[in-house]
Amino acid sequence: MQRIRLRYTKRGRLRFTSHRDFQRAFERALRRAEVPMAYSAGFTPHPKVSYANAAPTGTGSEAEYLEIALTAPRDPEKLRELLDESMPTGLDIVDAVEARTSGLADRLTASVWELRLDGVSLDEAARAAEAFRAAETVEVQRKTKSGIRTFDAREAVVSLDALEVSDVSAGPADRPSDTACAILRLVVRHVTPAVRPDDVLSGLRAVADLAPPVPAAVTRLAQGLFDAETGTVTDPLALDREADRTAPQKAAAGTANATAHAVEGPA
């Protein structure tokens, strides 16, 4: 059984799709592309697709991940192209590798988020970010199925910086505007309970009275393993790529050793 790991996006209006909406679209794409999927056992078999840490509904993302299991081997890049052609524009399959290591979900320990604040000046955003960073704790509340839950939104936030729109190298904004606009870039560790971008916005309102006149446009730029030394989030598929590069070398070395042993004969 071959396993393929894919990175996909949620762009533009497609950021409003729910996780279930994406699942339905992806399963249709698997059928259109005639992917030889492995299926679960039981009375109602399902294609073996594992999703990892999906972004909340209403947020854009450049870094969503999933893994599929196949019954026949396929070239990852060709498979990516076929699936991408079968998906709606905005739900784009942008990367694919063969899974040669274990624990993809364990390598998703942090996310880089971008919050576009229309109607907020850079100075306002910078003051709010400074107040948030200076606070030891920032208590926020979230409504859950069991009631209102209070937790600290500050501890999970590794960095929080205010940027001008001109400093952002990402693609075109979902909501271009001629009014004042600031960007908040933050790195958040994946902890329990999870701290989401809207929790950070609630914290900014609490510590700095920052209240954007329109809802923030939120995009996940990256997610992966958090490097404490550099404060960056690394590519979770890098280990699979490295293993894929070294596999032919190891196979060639093993063949050469076997050939030499056969020629020389047993010791």
Instruction: For residue 164, give the CATH number of its domain.
Output: 3.30.70
pLDDT in tens, 111-131: 999 999 999 999 999 999 999
Q: Are 18 and 100 within one domain?
A: yes
Confidence label for 249 from pLDDT (cuts 50, 70 and 90): low
The confidence score (pLDDT) of residue 160 equals 97
Q: Are 132 and 78 within one domain?
A: no
Has residue 192 been placed in a domain? yes
Top pLDDT among 25 and 145 is at 25
Residue of 185, 236, 228, 188 lying closest to 52 (CA atoms): 236
> Average pLDDT in the 93-117 region?
96
> Average pLDDT in the 253-265 region?
49
pLDDT in tens, 188-231: 999 998 999 999 999 999 999 999 999 999 999 999 999 999 99
Q: Which of 8-22, 54-68, 193-207, 238-252 has the lowest average pLDDT?
A: 238-252
CATH code at position 32: 3.30.70.580
Surface-to-core class of residue 168, CB atoms within 10 Å of its CB (0-12 exposed, 13-18 middle, 19+ buried):
middle
Has residue 140 been placed in a domain? yes
Q: Are 96 and 169 within one domain?
A: no
Distance CA 40, CA 58 (A): 30
> Average pLDDT in the 162-175 region?
63
Has residue 48 been placed in a domain? yes
Q: Are 165 and 130 within one domain?
A: yes
DSSP string, 63-81: EEEEEEEESS---HHHHHH
Q: Are 79 and 144 within one domain?
A: no
Q: Are 84 and 127 within one domain?
A: no
> Average pLDDT in the 41-57 region?
92
CB atoms under 10 Å from CB of 173, counted, come to 17
Q: Are 87 and 193 within one domain?
A: no
Domain count, the chain: 2
- pLDDT value at 25 more than 50: yes
- For residue 151, the cross-strand partners are 140
Token representation of residue 125: 């955003």
Q: Are 9 and 113 within one domain?
A: no
Q: Are 135 and 221 within one domain?
A: yes
Q: Is 36 in contact with 71 (CB distance < 8 Å)?
A: yes
Q: Are 13 and 91 within one domain?
A: yes
Mark which of 106, 140, 167 sits at the end of a domain.
Answer: 106
Q: Is the dihedral of CA 14, 29, 238, 102 positive or negative?
A: positive
Has residue 175 been placed in a domain? yes
Has residue 208 been placed in a domain? yes
Indicate the pTM of the whole model: 0.86
Structural domain for 155, as ranges = 108-232
Going through the chain in order, the beta strands assigned E by DSSP cover 2-10, 49-52, 60-70, 93-98, 110-118, 139-144, 147-152, 157-164, 181-189, 217-227, 232-234
The confidence score (pLDDT) of residue 164 equals 84
Token representation of residue 4: 């393929």
Q: Are 78 and 169 within one domain?
A: no
The confidence score (pLDDT) of residue 42 equals 86
> Average pLDDT in the 170-193 region?
77
Mark which of 91, 106, 121 sits at the end of a domain.
Answer: 106
Has residue 252 been placed in a domain? no
Mark which of 106, 140, 164 sits at the end of a domain.
Answer: 106
Distance CA 195, CA 115 (A): 14
Q: Is 10 in contact with 17 (CB distance < 8 Å)?
A: yes
Distance CA 26, CA 82 (A): 12
- pLDDT value at 174 more than 50: yes
The confidence score (pLDDT) of residue 177 equals 55
**Please, what is the average pLDDT of the chain?**
89
Has residue 76 been placed in a domain? yes
Q: Are 92 and 119 within one domain?
A: no
> Average pLDDT in the 98-108 region?
93
CB atoms under 10 Å from CB of 103, counted, come to 9
Has residue 258 been placed in a domain? no
